[in-house]
Structure 1
Amino acid sequence: MGYTDQRFDVNLSILYTELPLLERPAAAAAAGFTAVELWWPWIETPTPDQSELDALKEALEDAGTQLVGLNFYAGQLPGPDRGALSVPGEESDRFRANIDLAADFAQSVGCKALNALYGNRVEGVDPTAQDELALENLVLAARAADRVGAVLLIETLNKPESPLYPLVSAEAAIEVVDKVNAATGLGNAKFLLDLYHLAMNDEDLHAVITKYADKTGHVQIADKPGRGAPGTGGLPLEELLDQLAQAGYEGYIGLEYKAADATASFAWLPTEARAAK
């Protein structure tokens, strides 16, 4: 199959960051892409003013780009945080305040995937209590996502870069996915399969795809080492994406890698293959 048969989107929270947020959709469109994704764009608040939401919606529409993935509020990201939903106190409250607002914004722009980062372990707090809080909040998020016709994504991160994040294996994330689906009965919790993070955890990527492709709701890629564009490291990304497609995955593949020059970094992908099919 190859890269030309896949559906790609640009993560505008890690690429084109030298530009103001509202200019990034147009930059991705100028490079030939029609689909984009975002971490929660307003890291300082889970509840931005409606005018800010409207401005982002307008920027997406003016550029002709479809938002295909959005994070719920996740604390300081980029920064020290890796989510808020399992962190007791103010951060959990902020996550809950964000749930319906993020879901409603996703609905307003036709976004069908909402990612909920689990959050770091907190010193002095019982991990079991954090997991119970996480499940409560993920159930609320799954119901909100279902209300707007979206899936809820659960993501594995890598231990070297996120040592306090508890979901550092595909199996750990899948366990949470299954718990959320059992609690809600909705079946809309899915695995966010990030090949870079899994590779950094030394997982067998082919085995993960074989085992969990049917539970995967979104895919993200970067090469290893360095978290650069495909071809800058040693991961067989084209082969792995072919395997995903053969296993039945038809969703988007988010380009969540680092590049000093985003447009130049897309040289591995023919221009005619960048528009989402």
Structure 2
Amino acid sequence: MRDVTAASEHSYVINLSILFSELPLLERPAAAAAAGFSKAELWWPFGTETTPSETELDALRKAFTDAGVQLVGLNFLDDLSVGAKGTASVPAESERFRENIPAAVALAESLGTGALNAIYGNRVDGVSAEEQDALALENLSRAAQAAHSIGAILLIEALNKVDAPDYPLHTAKAAVEVVDRINAATGLGNAKFLCDFYHLAVNGEDLVAVIDDYADRIGHVQIADNPGRNEPGTGTLDFEDLLARLTAAGYQGRIGLEYRPSTGVSAESFEWLPRELRAN
């Protein structure tokens, strides 16, 4: 991205579950601030714990407030650390997802977090797709209602079929259909599509068409280049064009940096984004 005209139209969020992962979690907000960022997002940061202790929660809050970094996005329990892809649609995990809702929402409220991301859940043997989808709708509706109670949105995303072959939402259309079902069920309208360019590109989607078709449902955008899931400029995606198209389509939300640094050192991966744009 040599021309940053389109980049300057957006606000950037650093995902501290994938960037600066070479550091302990509680050191990452300060590292993000040192790199010039003022906003961050996290996958669920407590592994398989549905309800972390107050000591753990206070330590995380302190790390962000001391660094002067706002946590603007947070995943509900997702178990990404142990290879699972969400718990909302999985009968054996449903109760854990429900237990996590108030804990995640309380943490989000305490840090002024305005977006909560719910990973849908893999298909599992012995349970019909219809049963899983009905359970997901029930659980995600609960999550949307809880998010609404603190003025937050609920995000639903498609994942790529290489890394998550059993995940049922492999297209923007599939994810948006879930968003629409949640909004119809709750009447709140706070469920939105998380448009992750990397996952969609791996799945072979036409990213321009995704923007054209679903810009009005997009609540957040995440980026990584393809192939490789590294920083912009390391692969083939034309982010200058994609960001310009987002702006033209009326998207005024944030852009989440959810990539792995190509050198393994996060601080070396931000040259594509001028420092003056990182805290906008």
Residue pair 1:4, 1:270 contacting (<8 A) in 2 also: no
2:58 aligned partner: 54
Measured against aligned partners, the alpha-carbon deviations of 1:102-130 in whole angstroms (never above 9, x if no partner) come to 11110110000000000110012111110
Residue 174 of structure 1 corresponds to: 176
- Specify the alignment match of 1:134 in structure 2: 136
Partner of 2:83: 80
Contact 2:9 2:247 in 1 (8 A): no
Amino acid across the alignment from 1:53: L
Equivalent residue runs for 1:1-277 within 5 Å? 1-75=5-79, 77-89=80-92, 91-259=93-261, 260-275=264-279, 277=280
Distance (Å, rounded) in 2 between the aligned partners of 1:86 and 1:92: 7
Q: 1:212 offset after TM fit, Å?
A: 0.6
- Secondary structure, aligned partner of 1:168: coil
> What letter matches 1:80 in structure 2?
G
Alpha-carbon shift at residue 4 of structure 1 (Å):
2.4
Whole-Å Cα distance in 1 between the matches of residues 145 and 9 of structure 2? 33
Can you give the 5+ residue segments of structure 2 that lack an aligned partner in the other structure?
none
Contact 1:86 1:119 in 2 (8 A): yes
- Give TM-score scaled by structure 1 length: 0.97
Kindly state the Cα deviation for residue 6 of structure 1 after the two structures are TM-superposed: 1.6
How far has the Cα of 1:3 moved from its partner?
1.4
Q: What amino acid is aligned across from residue 158 of structure 1 in structure 2?
A: N
Q: Which runs of 4 or more aligned residues in structure 1 lie more than 6 Å from their structure 2 counterparts after TM superposition?
A: none
The residue matched to 1:230 in structure 2 has which SS? coil
- TM value normalised by structure 2: 0.96
Q: Distance in 2 between matches of 1:124 and 1:57?
A: 41
How many angstroms apart in 1 are the aligned matches of 2:96 and 2:23?
27
Amino acid aligned to 1:85: A
The residue type equivalent to 1:60 in the other structure is F
Q: Deviations over 1:144-193 (max 9, x none)?
A: 00001000000100111110000000000000000000000000000000
